[in-house]
Amino acid sequence: MVVQRIRAWSKPKQIALAGGLGLLLVGLFIWWRLGERAYVRLLLESPSRGRCERRLTAAVLDRSLALGTRYVLAHQKPEGNFDYEYDWREKSFSEEDNEVRQAGALWGLTLIYARRPSPELAAAVDRGLAFFDEHSKLGKGGVRCNVYPTSSSGGTGTAALIALSHVEYLRARADLSAERRALLEQRLDEYLKYLLRAVHPSGLWFSGYDLGSCKPKGEPSPYSDGEALLALVKAAKYVGHRELLPTIMKSAAAGKRLNIDRARENDADSDTTKGYYQWSSMAFFELATSDFPDTRVYGDTLLELADWIIDTHHILTRTRNTGYAFEGIVHAYALAKQRNDPRQAKFACAIDIGLERLISWQVGGPLPNRYTGASGSDDPQARGGVQNAAFEPGLRIDVVQHQMHATLLARQYVY
């Protein structure tokens, strides 16, 4: 009877109905492929205006962090580096590798250890430091650079992240023997010497170095620019290397000018700024909250960049894992709260919506989506790993590291 009534409609009305049904089917298909609760929240809440329901809790973050930490520990190889990627569906390991992401995983472990120390984490950090120490060399002038087994050239970002790992571990391990502390301080000094030598005439950094001589080379990259800046800032602020301040201030100004201001003049949604984003945000937060002179501008820039990543780069609608971005947004929230800046509500909403979504991509996590909920979370190799997209089974070590750091920061500053 319904069909007969439709047949009696005019042709335009029938076409309109068919079009509407077609759009509905397309919408249902897209929802099946991409649909997540975060999109509903974006429709029903107003995060850009600081109006949202807080759904994450300390308990959820703690559970996610414990699982992610367990994943990283389970995937540390006996020699000290990490399995690069595990596919939970195929139960297979990728043959790919990346030295900077390996170094980042070690830095991530030192950050977790600093907040939640345990003998197991200390042993893992020691293995990681020993691995990178074994695969490093001393260059002319006492500089140290890494010679990663699968790399044909070295990356400044690797040296920066290993320097950061030393900084965090020296800060956290009050019980180190005098001999062990002296060795770690010596290694840190050698990596810092490399980073000082690698400063580019622009004030940024050469992106790499020759494996035979540790001699810097390569045009600057916004990623290594930010990693190197963060390493120097933390070394100066937390372990006494205030002799780095002239280089820090020169490079921070160059990074702001070239990787943020000029890059966004050329392209409002600049890939350069995106690459520099979380590293510079972390460095600028440390500068803005230090006793170093003339650093307020970097706090202003930190807040401006958080607006940019949310409103221009549209981080909450990106379909790949964006855990890295929340390393920056959480620091912006912390500074906004300290300054009583009204944007803290906006940043808090972005953190809640964004991290809720990303936690649903964690295998065996506390808030699974329909894909991770149907995964083999009983697989000890998969449990706690974080996908790079909502419906992809690859669990890459750097994706886990960035998201666990963001989770740790959210737990510290927001929840």
Residue range 273-287, pLDDT digits in tens: 999 999 999 999 999
C-alpha 362/C-alpha 367 separation (Å) is: 8
CB 401 within 8 A of CB 88: no
Residue 356 in any domain: the answer is no
Residue 325 in any domain: the answer is no
DSSP E strand stretches across 1-44: none
Average pLDDT over all residues of the chain: 94
Max Cα distance, the chain (Å): 91
Residue 324 in any domain: the answer is no
- In residues, how long is the chain? 415
DSSP 8-state assignment for residue 51: B
| pTM (predicted TM-score) | 0.92
Residue 310 in any domain: the answer is no
Region of residue 331 (phi > 0: left; psi between -120 and 50: alpha; otherwise: beta) = alpha
Average pLDDT score over residue span 174-190: 97
Q: Is the pLDDT of residue 30 over 50?
A: no
C-alpha 410/C-alpha 351 separation (Å) is: 8
Residue 92 phi/psi, 5-degree rounding, is -135, 155
Pairing of strands 208-209, 216-217: antiparallel
DSSP 8-state assignment for residue 230: H
Among 36-50, 241-255, 381-395, the minimum mean pLDDT is found in 36-50
Token pair of 159 as six digits: 């040296």
CB 335 within 8 A of CB 302: yes
Residue 261 in any domain: the answer is no
pLDDT digits (tens, 9 = 90+) for 322-343: 999 999 999 999 999 999 999 9
Residue 78 in any domain: the answer is no
The whole-number pLDDT of residue 183 equals 98
Between these two residues, 255 and 40, which has the higher pLDDT value? 255
Residue 140 in any domain: the answer is yes
For helices 58-74 and 343-359, give the axis angle rounded to 10 degrees: 50
Residue 121 in any domain: the answer is yes
Q: Is the pLDDT of residue 398 over 80?
A: yes
Sign of the torsion angle spanned by Cα atoms 318, 347, 257, 145: negative
Domain that holds residue 160: 96-220
Q: Measuring CA to CA, which residue among 173, 353, 277, 265 is closest to residue 285?
A: 277
Q: Is the pLDDT of residue 24 over 70?
A: no
C-alpha 31/C-alpha 357 separation (Å) is: 15
CB 69 within 8 A of CB 401: no
CB 289 within 8 A of CB 367: no
In total, how many domains does the chain have? Answer: 1
Average pLDDT score over residue span 77-93: 97
Q: Is the pLDDT of residue 28 over 50?
A: no
The residues, ordered by sequence, that sit 6+ positions from 277 with a Cβ below 8 Å of its Cβ are 226, 305, 309, 313, 324, 325, 328
CB 270 within 8 A of CB 264: yes
C-alpha 408/C-alpha 111 separation (Å) is: 9
CB 143 within 8 A of CB 198: no
The whole-number pLDDT of residue 18 equals 65
The whole-number pLDDT of residue 122 equals 98
Residue 205 phi/psi, 5-degree rounding, is -130, 145
